[in-house]
Structure 1
Amino acid sequence: MTRRRRWPAALALLAAMVAPALVGTAAHASPETPRALKMHDELMVEVELHVQHREEVLTALLDAAERHAADVGQRSARLAALGYTGDLTKLEYVLPVQDYRLTAGFGESGPHWASVHTGLDFAAPLGTELVAVADGIVTEVAYAGPYGIRTVLTLQDGTEVWYNHQLQPLVFEGQAILIGEPIGLLGTTGNSIGPHLHLEVRPGGAAPVDPRAWLTERGLTP
């Protein structure tokens, strides 16, 4: 079945409404003259083009609606698989990893760090999947010295979210990422004493803020 057959009733009605108005302009000429016949044929072509354009617009609208519905369904299924419930179409933020324990907070100091701790550490088994906390664009995937393998996800408001010490990244620079999609695998690269995600949050790409407070403000409980 072709796309065009999706609108038989609407197209028939449109043709019935448009054709008389267009053909009526040739009513003063004799239908037996070549000029009148030519005008009639030209008007019929115009009607057909108008109907075809209308059909293409309606088809494009239907296709867009179908794609949107599919995207919403995939999003909800992805977030449900991560354990989230409720109206998942309205969920804007999620935690970066599941089944973890917090091992170090923001601002702590000690022998493990050259200065104060600038992130929040989520310990979990090596290879645990890390996910996007929100929609964004991947702006860096690189080995970053003491941070190990780092992926930077820049959110729509300009906030940078750093995923550090990864075992392996699963995205590439410039990639658009949706909430809950995989970012990488939790690891222990760089300056690390065990498998964990060192998460940093930097509004506008500036100095880091407390990830725990940032997540809490968005309705999450790390």
Structure 2
Amino acid sequence: MRSSRRPRWLLPALLCALAVLVARPTETPGGSPARGGAHPGASAEVARLYEDAAAATRQYEEGRRAAEAERTRARQLEKRLVRERRQLAVLHEDLGRIARAQYRSGGDVSLTARMLLADDPEGLLRGQRAVSEADHALRHAISRSRRAEARLAADERKAATQWRALQVHNGELAELKQHIERKLARARERLRAEADSSAASGACRSAVRLAQPDRSATRAWVAPLRTYQLSAAFGSGGARWADRHTGQDFAVPIGTFVRTVGEGRVAAVSCGGAFGIQIVIAHPGGYWTQYAHLSSVAVEQGERVRPGQRIGQSGTTGNSTGPHLHFEVRVTPEFGSGVDPLPWLAARGVRL
């Protein structure tokens, strides 16, 4: 049986990492506070906690799959054990029939006496030899079956022990995951408060540099978020907009990483107004994309960006009824020149 025992260092290592995360000061990549007196604060903490929560989730899912595999193996062992017991019962029944047949054919009379009294001594001898061989085979089968039963019972106990250990392990991972998620919820609230304050004052905080994923296999065009739920669509009406909705909304929690959909240059980073904290990126070919209602930005005006690069975190700043990303595709950098983002992205191989 393949051992599913977790490494003893796993949980302590995760807990130590979490303790370090709580204790260490928030700094920019260079090791000093963000310039201009601003501080990344909750923005950087949310980003780190997202990564920690993702790691804890992966560990939990691996443990859950291992536990399910162990439980399946335990069930298979139980089925095998039931079959072996049934076969053993049949063998016992056969042994009883042979014993009864031996008794009827001669009981306690010795084989020599029976041969002297038999009409066909040679036939009797052959029959006795056959009975002896069958008896030997039966004893061997019973012995083998009992060994198999003992082995399967031991395996079953081992599987049950491992299952219980995996259950304990999963419980520990679930508690750690919930602890991180509670910290993440508190950090999101702080991030929201900081972003609202920044948007209200119209003064953008300095860019908070986010850890970037491996982009070795990134396509030329990607979705602005890795996971999302589509909400208000382009052109839809409603009391929240003066005319029609000018972009596509993505419902996501505060602090979700927002990505640039393609290569380009940051045309503007601004705060305040209906869009709250927003980024506008110019792309080759005469198109601009807008990312609005953010809680933080990770780029500065004039900066070059690559497809899939994390440029900020989602929020609910400005004219927003809840956490989401407002995404626009424009033919000019200005409001009012938007086109439907879904077919525009679909033409570039990105289907939402």
- TM-score > 0.5 by shorter chain: yes
- Give the shorter-chain TM-score range: 0.5 to 0.7
Aligned counterpart for 1:184 among listed residues 306, 312, 320: 312
Partner of 1:78: 215
What is the rounded CA distance, in whole Å, between the counterparts of 1:151 and 1:210 in structure 2? 18
Residue matched to 2:339: 209
Answer whether contact 2:280 2:333 (CA < 8 A) is retained.
Answer: no
Greater displacement, 110-119 / 185-194:
110-119
| AA matched with 2:349 | G
Number of residue pairs matched by the alignment = 139
Deviations 1:105-144 (A, max 9, x none): 0000012222100000001111000011001000100014
TM-aligned CA deviation for residue 221 of structure 1 = 1.2
Cα pair 1:158 1:205 within 8 Å, conserved: no
Quote how far apart the aligned CAs of 1:166 are. 0.3
Higher fraction of strand: 1
Partner AA of 2:324 in structure 1: H
Aligned to 2:249: 121
Unpaired stretches in structure 1, ≥5 consecutive residues: 1-74, 81-87
Cα pair 2:230 2:251 within 8 Å, conserved: yes
Given that residues 79 and 180 in structure 1 are in contact (C-alpha distance below 8 angstroms), is that contact kept between their aligned partners in structure 2? no
Q: Per-residue deviation at 1:79?
A: 6.1
Q: C-alpha distance in 2, partners of 1:76/1:143?
A: 26
The equivalences for 1:125-144 within 5 A come to: 125-144=253-272
- CA separation of 1:170 and 1:156: change in aligned 2, threshold 3 A: same
Cα displacement (A) at 1:76: 9.3
* Between structures 1 and 2, the one with greater helix share: 2
Instruction: Give, in whole Å, the separation in 2 of the partners of 1:181 and 1:142.
Output: 19
Find 2:240's aligned residue among 102, 109, 112. Answer: 112
Among residues 275, 284, 288, which one is paired with 1:147 in the alignment? Answer: 275
Q: 2: CA distance between counterparts of 1:176 and 1:161?
A: 14
- 1:184, 1:194 → 2: CA distance? 17
1:218 paired residue number: 348
**Match among 164, 167, 182 for residue 292 of structure 2:** 164
Aligned residues of 2:230 and 2:249 also touching (Cα < 8 A): yes
SS in 2 for 1:205: coil
Picking from 205, 225, 231, the partner of 1:103 is 231
Residue 258 of structure 2 contacts residue 311 of structure 2 at CA under 8 Å; is this kept in 1? yes
The 2-side partners of 1:94 and 1:151 are apart by 17
Change over 3 Å in CA distance of 1:195–1:79 after alignment to 2? farther
Question: d(CA) in 2 for partners of 1:203 and 1:144?
Answer: 23
Separation in structure 1 between the aligned mates of residue 256 and residue 213 of structure 2, nearest angstrom:
21
**Deviation at residue 173 of structure 1 after TM alignment:** 0.3
1:197 partner amino acid: L
TM-score by length of 2: 0.38
Q: Secondary structure at the match of 2:321?
A: coil
Task: For 1:126, give the aligned amino acid.
Answer: I
Dislocated runs of 4+, deviation >4 Å: none
In the other structure, the counterpart of 2:62 is none
Q: Identity, % of aligned pairs? A: 42
Change beyond 3 A, Cα 1:76–1:122: closer
Q: How far apart, in 2, do the equivalents of 1:76 and 1:150 lie?
A: 22
**2:221 is the alignment partner of 1:93:** yes
Q: CA deviation at 1:203?
A: 2.0
**One-letter amino acid matched to 1:93:** W
Distance between the aligned counterparts of 1:212 and 1:157, measured in 2?
Answer: 18
Task: Give the letter for the 1:212 counterpart.
Answer: L
Q: Could you say if the C-alpha distance between residues 116 and 140 of structure 1 is closer, same or farther in structure 2, counting changes exceeding 3 Å?
A: same
Amino acid at match of 2:215: R
